[in-house]
Each structure stands twice: as structure tokens, then as C-alpha cells.
Amino acid sequence: MPLKVRKNRAPQPPDTCPLSACMAVIGGAWTANVVWYLGAGPRRFSELKGDLAPVSARVLTRRLRELEDAGVVQRHAMATSPPSVEYTLSELGRELLPAIEAIVAVGHRLKARAAAA
């Protein structure tokens, strides 16, 4: 084994600027939607899974863990039977909401233009 060299070490870009920092957090598949749904209030795992329709458990779990690591969501496991886990936005997470809403707002414009084209 000749000690595999990593030539593409920079998967995502200007990691230090605030713009990219935030995009790194909300950029993954479904991530922005997760935050959006959590913005309406606490939500259980299976509820989120239902909200996001065809998302796989694997990806949803991954996204929630990432958001947790970023400090924007909090995970509360309840020792019930069957077990249930509730996710909520942290204070920091709620600061994402204005951005998400701004994105939704332009989204409408973009969709309108895409429909026209």
C-alpha cells in the first residue's frame, strides 16, 4: 500500500467566510427543510420523517446529528416505551429562521420564473 495521497482535499469552498459557514450548515439535502419544519415547534423523529416525505432515515439522522453538532438543534430522548425523541431548534437555530424565510421568499419568485420558462 503506497500511502494513498489525497489530491482533492477541498470538497467545499471558502470555509472561513460566514456565507460559506452558513451554507455548509444548511446546504445539505433536506437540511433547510428540517430547520423550516422545526421552526414551527418541537417535532419527533417520525414526524419529521413524515414531513419530509421521501427522505431516508439514514439521511434524516445524519442531518439532525450535523445540526446538533452545529448547535442549531437540540435532541431530547424520552425514556418511554416505545422510545420517542424530540428535536427542537436551539436559540442559535432560531436565528436561522429569518434566513430561511428570506430564501423561501425568493424561492417563490424563482419558481414563478421557472414556470414561465
Partner DNA sequence: CTGTATCCAAACCGATACTG
Partner DNA sequence: CAGTATCGGTTTGGATACAG
Nearer to DNA, 75 or 116 (CB): 75
Q: Which does 36 bind (CB under 5 to 8 A by kind): DNA, a copy of itself, none?
A: a copy of itself
Q: In the complex, what is the shortest distance from the CB of residue 57 to DNA, in angstroms, rounded to a whole number?
A: 4
d(CA 100, CA 33): 9
Query: Which chain residues interact with DNA by CB under 7 A?
Result: 4, 6-8, 10-13, 28-30, 44-47, 49, 54-59, 61-62, 64-65, 75, 77, 82-85
C-alpha neighbours within 13 Å on the C-beta side of residue 26: 20
Pairing of strands 73-78, 43-44: unpaired
Q: Which does 115 bind (CB under 5 to 8 A by kind): DNA, a copy of itself, none?
A: none
Q: In the complex, what is the shortest distance from the CB of residue 78 to a copy of itself, in angstroms, rounded to a whole number?
A: 26
Q: How many residues in the chain?
A: 117
CB 32 within 8 A of CB 100: yes
